[in-house]
A and B are shown apart, each in its own frame.
Chain A
């Protein structure tokens, strides 16, 4: 009995120990002299404070549970889900939970958005990546997209992905919500680039949409125009034309239209409601982060 108690207490301590280890995500200190940012980031006086309050993490971990919202098993499952996402899409994915948000409002973006964007930019993730952030301080969850992910996930895909997760988020099932988000985004990837972003691309990391030259209509119009003109020219070569009327020989003085009957029968009026059209532009809405790169995405409160 005593032995059993010891074994149980040892096991309990052991499990506690494991939980503690996995809950504390490894971070590396950043200093003024060594900011530890990827080489493509241009350090300026403006973005330095943003770099300093962004944790430096190991980009291979993928799940960064600073707010301690996931259990070990959940974390493992989520990690595997993310690995499958990365394998499928060859883009990067990170799930981040925070209990305190040191960021502030920047350039039109709220602190949740700023944190998620900075977390991607100032760590060694791939340029094409998704960061899913659960911000417990602001009680907000947010999907930040970078690089190709901006093109792949337009506003409507982000919106419906957030819809899928919203219920679980409100019921504190954070791991479940996160997994659903990874799965949903993976499925969207399989569907290919959305119609709204067909003519969009990344130019130096910036999201840009362009219009395609309407080559088929141009060709058709040119064809019709030239055929019409050429037929007119051809008909101008043909000067022999039979006359079908005798209009030249009417004697106006002896012409008299003396029977005119205009009998009103009926009248009807129809009406059509005037449609006021609202134009929706579609595509992905983007903003710039402190590092200067473009991000897309969206978030909600819970």
Chain B
């Protein structure tokens, strides 16, 4: 029995350990590609240069991961939503009456514990009036928007929230290789010639990214946060409690370790894009090997300003968000399906009628 319990505890630590390995990758000492553990030979294999290593060889090659230090937060109230679990922080002069995410009024006020001070903050640069005005402009020239969608009383629920973000700096190393062709063609009086030159190509280099933002809020759809990007980081300043007065701030509920994969994915994509764009003098390219390694990571915890308005339309909450710094407004506008399809059919009929008419004028017959 004791042996079984011991085995369970050991396997728990192994699983936990593997989770950790995913975050901190091992690098190939030869070519710097990411290594993967191979259970068959109990070694780490490099898919890029086909070498394998034991754990002792790898110790000194781990990714450097630096996290900016934080002090514990103090003197703030926290409202916890019973419905969705969101934790909204306010200073003592600001009160919350409903949850900004799910609109539930079942929220409990409490004193904040176990929270850290952000490293930096971008203060709001736009007012509530600006946000309301921007939302009013959303439906301009949108003829398929249902009329009842913009209900005046909803607009006043626009709330300014500081959203917790993790800003990652990535130092990457990328490599791609494959085959490419260049095609030239010419003609004489009898023949048309096509010449295809085949090349083996390889591109590699180091690319650095700074402040790739990933939000630390489960309640916020990552896509909507992506859509209000970019923020202008020149306005980042040291955190000060006084910036919070009159606004809400959400307490992060996803740690940097939990969200780093989103940042890595975007970075990896960009590294490959940059390397591939260097091959644009070729007419066709086929990449058969690609590898992106992240060598160094730095992470900061920041608060970024967002105006948020959740509109309930046909029993569905549609979030509209405005970048509190740049004023960029995003949100999915509903489409009146009947209007949309009907106008499409009418347009098709009119187009056919006009074209047939033109043909008839041109001497054609039905």
What is A's interface to B at a CB cutoff of 8 Å?
199, 210-215, 218-219, 222-223, 225-227, 230, 233-234, 237-251, 254-274
Contact for A226 among B206, B223, B269, B347, CB less than 8 A: B347
Contacts of B348 in A (CB 8 A): 219, 222-223, 226
| Of B51-59, B85-93, B156-164, B226-234, the one touching chain A | B226-234
* List of B residues within 8 angstroms of A247 by Cβ: 270, 273
In contact, B356 and A213 (Cβ under 8 angstroms): yes
Choose one: A223, A257, A261; the contact of B275 (CB below 8 Å). A257
Interface-located stretch among B35-43, B70-78, B115-123, B184-192: B184-192
Q: Which of B191, B203, B360, B363 contacts A271 (CB 8 A)?
A: B191
| 22 A-B residue pairings within 8 Å (CB atoms) | A233-B144, A234-B335, A239-B227, A240-B221, A240-B332, A243-B229, A250-B274, A251-B210, A254-B171, A254-B206, A255-B207, A257-B204, A257-B275, A261-B201, A262-B200, A264-B198, A267-B196, A268-B198, A269-B195, A273-B190, A273-B191, A274-B189
Query: A233 contacts which chain B residues (CB < 8 A)?
Result: 144
- Write the residues of chain B forming the contact surface with A, with a CB cutoff of 8 angstroms: 142, 144-145, 171, 175, 177, 179-180, 187, 189-212, 221-224, 226-227, 229-230, 263, 265-267, 269-270, 273-275, 278, 319, 329-335, 340, 344, 347-348, 351-352, 355-356, 359-360, 363-366
- Asked if A257 and B278 sit within 8 Å, CB to CB, the answer is yes
Is B344 in contact with A239, judged by CB distance below 8 angstroms?
no
A213 with B207, Cβ < 8 A, contacts A240-B223, A243-B226 known = no
Closest to A257 in B: B205
**Closest B residue to A210 using CB positions:** B365
**C-alpha gap A265/B10 in the complex (Å):** 54
Contact status B198-A266, CB under 8 Å: yes
Task: Looking at the assembled complex, report how far the CB atom of A86 sits from the nearest CB atom of chain B, in whole angstroms.
Answer: 31
**Besides A222-B351, A240-B331, A247-B270, 18 other A-B contacts (C-beta < 8 A):** A212-B365, A213-B365, A222-B355, A226-B347, A233-B144, A240-B227, A246-B269, A255-B205, A259-B203, A260-B278, A264-B199, A265-B179, A265-B200, A267-B195, A267-B196, A267-B198, A271-B193, A273-B192
Contact of B209 among A215, A234, A251 (CB under 8 A): A251
Are B193 and A270 in contact, with the CB atoms below 8 A?
yes
Q: A268 to B266, Cβ gap below 8 A? A: no
B344 touches A227 (CB 8 A): yes
In the complex, what residue of chain B is closest to A217 when comparing beta carbons? B355
How far, in Å, is B365 (CB) from chain A's closest CB? 5
B274 pairs with A257, CB closer than 8 A? yes
Given A212-B365, A259-B175, A261-B202, does the pair A242, B226 have CB atoms closer than 8 Å? yes
CB proximity of B357 to chain A, nearest CB, Å: 10
Bound CA–CA A250/B209 (angstroms): 5
Are A219 and B207 CB-contacts (below 8 A) given A246-B212, A263-B199? no
B200 surroundings in chain A (CB, below 8 A): 261-263, 265
Which residues in B have their C-beta under 8 angstroms from that of A273? 190-192
* B205 A239 Cβ-Cβ under 8 A: no
In the complex, what residues of A have CB within 8 A of residue B278's CB? 257, 260
Chain A's nearest CB lies how many Å from the CB of B194? 5
CB closest residue in chain B, given A247: B270
CB atoms of A263 and B201 under 8 A apart? yes
Q: Complex formed: what's the CA distance from A12 to B209 in Å?
A: 120
Find out whether the CB atom of B364 lies under 8 angstroms from the CB atom of A264: no
Tell me which residues across on chain B come within 8 A of A238, comparing CB atoms: 332-333
Question: Contacts A215-B366, A238-B332, A240-B332 given: A226-B344 contact, CB under 8 Å?
Answer: yes
Contacts of A227 in B (CB 8 A): 344
Distance of A268 from chain B, by nearest CB (Å): 6
CB of A183, distance to nearest CB on chain B (Å)? 34
- The distance in angstroms between the C-alpha atoms of A46 and B313, with both chains bound, is 86
The complex places the Cα of A265 from the Cα of B175 at a distance, in Å, of 20
Q: Which of A225, A227, A240, A274 has the most CB of B within 10 A?
A: A240
Q: Report the bound CA distance from A257 to B175 in whole Å.
A: 10
Question: Which of the residues A234, A250, A261 comes within 8 Å of B340, measured between beta carbons?
Answer: A234
Q: Which chain B residue has the least Cβ–Cβ distance from A199? A: B365
**A249 and B211 contacting across the interface, CB-CB below 8 Å:** yes
Residues on A with C-beta less than 8 A from B196 are: 267-270
Contacts of A211 in B (CB 8 A): 363-365
Bound CA span A264–B180, Å: 10
Which residues on B sit within 8 Å (CB–CB) of A261? 177, 200-203
In the bound complex, CA of A247 to CA of B212 (Å): 9
Distance, CA A199 to CA B364, complexed state (A): 10
Whether B192 and A267, one on each chain, are in contact in the complex, defined by CB atoms closer than 8 angstroms, is no
Chain A residues positioned under 8 Å from B193 (CB to CB): 269-271
CA distance A96 to B197 in the complex (A): 72
* B192, A260: Cβ atoms closer than 8 Å: no
Residues of B within 8 A of A213 (CB): 356, 359-360, 364-366
B145 cross-chain contacts in A, Cβ below 8 A = 237
Given A219-B352, A251-B208, A267-B197, verify A245-B340 contact (CB < 8 Å): no
> Closest residue to A237 on the B side, CB-wise?
B333
Residues of chain A lying within 8 A (CB to CB) of residue B263:
246
Contact A250 B270 (CB under 8 A): yes
Q: Which chain B residues border A262 with CB–CB below 8 Å?
A: 180, 199-201
Residues of B within 8 A of A254 (CB): 171, 206-208
When C-beta atoms are compared, the residue in chain B nearest to A231 turns out to be B344
Find chain A residues with CB under 8 A from B221 CB: 240
CB of A42, distance to nearest CB on chain B (Å): 28
Which of these, A214, A246, A260, A269, contacts B266 with CB under 8 Å?
A: A246
Are the CB atoms of A274 and B190 closer together than 8 Å?
yes
CA distance A57 to B333 in the complex (A): 85
- A56 CB → nearest B CB, Å: 39
